[in-house]
């Protein structure tokens, strides 16, 4: 007598539309005011264009995370670049041109609005990188307070890169709002590339791959920033 082997219970079939990887939002907030024109904005565009493949490569190593990327640019007002958040796998950098004033507060309000209305409940803390070479020309304080008033704003990994000596580091520190996370100073194109690469790949990888849970009052731990000389001989900006 023959017969089929008894089948072992395997559990219910999981419909694919219920399952998803945890979303991780990465956001550049970029100063595109007139003072950024020239080598600053060129270096920034080059750095971001070059770092995208590196992020894509890193993202392949944590397939259980859905990484999406977006950029907000601010000068006369602030706006989302392109259509907002896109999967890193298809993200392309169109480039940014610089002119106008430094409406950093407007950019903060856009960030706060997004975090208030769009973050999924089970998301990984977003990573937000603010880059500027100057001082805000609008109401920055209200903007940054709006970000920090949002639960996801407080939970976000907030980083800042000061481009050149004229950048208002005190303002950038208000955004970071964490004395253990220094503002990264980039004084030449090479340092800017290095800083953007660190914030975009090293930190994002740490946040994406970490399942670390600490107390509710602690910011997520991130790797140390790259060593940048305090007074580099090749200072350009």
The Cα–Cα gap between 139 and 154 comes to 20
Task: Kindly state whether residue 21 participates in binding other proteins, applying the rule CB under 8 A.
Answer: yes
Contact stretch for other proteins (CB under 8 A) within 102-110, 185-193, 215-223, 229-237: 215-223
CB of 144 closer than 8 Å to CB of 112:
no
Beta strands in 76-215 (DSSP E): 77-80, 86-87, 127-132, 157-163, 184-186
Q: Which two tokens stand for residue 72?
A: 């907000």
Secondary structure class of 51 (helix, strand, coil): helix
Contact stretch for other proteins (CB under 8 A) within 106-114, 132-140, 150-158, 179-187: 150-158
The Cα–Cα gap between 57 and 175 comes to 29
Chosen residue from 37, 89, 141, 212 binding other proteins by CB under 8 A: 212
Helical (H) or strand (E) element with 230: none
Chosen residue from 2, 92, 213, 231 binding other proteins by CB under 8 A: 213
Mask 118-147, x = binds other proteins (CB under 8 A)? --xxxxxx----------------------
Tell me which residue of 204, 197, 139, 144 sits closest to 172, measured CA to CA.
144
Number of residues that bind other proteins (CB under 8 A): 37
Task: Kindly state whether residue 211 participates in binding other proteins, applying the rule CB under 8 A.
Answer: yes
The angle at the Cα of 63, spanning 47 to 21, to the nearest 5 degrees, equals 110
Pairing of strands 157-163, 184-186: parallel
Secondary structure class of 89 (helix, strand, coil): helix
Task: Kindly state whether residue 12 participates in binding other proteins, applying the rule CB under 8 A.
Answer: yes
Task: Kindly state whether residue 52 participates in binding other proteins, applying the rule CB under 8 A.
Answer: no
> What minimum distance in Å lies between the beta carbon of 177 and other proteins?
15
Task: Kindly state whether residue 18 participates in binding other proteins, applying the rule CB under 8 A.
Answer: yes
Task: Kindly state whether residue 164 participates in binding other proteins, applying the rule CB under 8 A.
Answer: no
> What minimum distance in Å lies between the beta carbon of 41 and other proteins?
32
Residues near other proteins (CB under 8 A): 8-12, 14-15, 17-22, 62-65, 120-125, 151-152, 155, 209-216, 218, 220-221
């Amino acid at each position: 007598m023959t017969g089929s082997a008894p089948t072992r219970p395997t559990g219910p079939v999981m419909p694919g539309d219920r399952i998803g990887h945890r979303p991780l939002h990465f956001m550049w907030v970029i100063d595109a005011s007139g003072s950024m024109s020239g080598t600053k904005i060129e270096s920034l565009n080059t750095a971001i264009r070059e770092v995208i493949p590196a992020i894509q490569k890193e993202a392949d190593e944590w397939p259980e995370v859905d990484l999406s990327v977006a950029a907000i640019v601010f000068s006369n007002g602030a706006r989302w670049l392109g259509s907002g958040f896109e999967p890193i796998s298809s993200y392309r950098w169109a480039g940014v041109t610089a002119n106008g004033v430094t409406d950093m507060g407007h950019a903060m309000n856009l960030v706060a609005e997004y975090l208030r209305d769009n973050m999924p409940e089970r998301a990984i803390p977003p990573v937000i990188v603010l880059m500027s070479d100057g001082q805000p020309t609008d109401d920055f304080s209200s903007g940054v307070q709006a970000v920090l008033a949002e639960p996801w704003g407080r939970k976000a990994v907030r980083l800042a890169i000061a481009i050149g000596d004229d950048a208002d580091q005190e303002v950038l520190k208000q955004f970071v709002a964490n004395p253990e996370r220094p503002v990264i100073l980039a004084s030449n194109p090479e340092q800017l590339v290095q800083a953007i690469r660190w914030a975009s790949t090293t930190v994002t990888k740490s946040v994406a791959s970490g399942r670390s849970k600490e107390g509710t009052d602690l910011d997520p731990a991130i790797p140390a920033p790259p060593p940048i000389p305090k007074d580099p001989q090749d200072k350009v900006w």
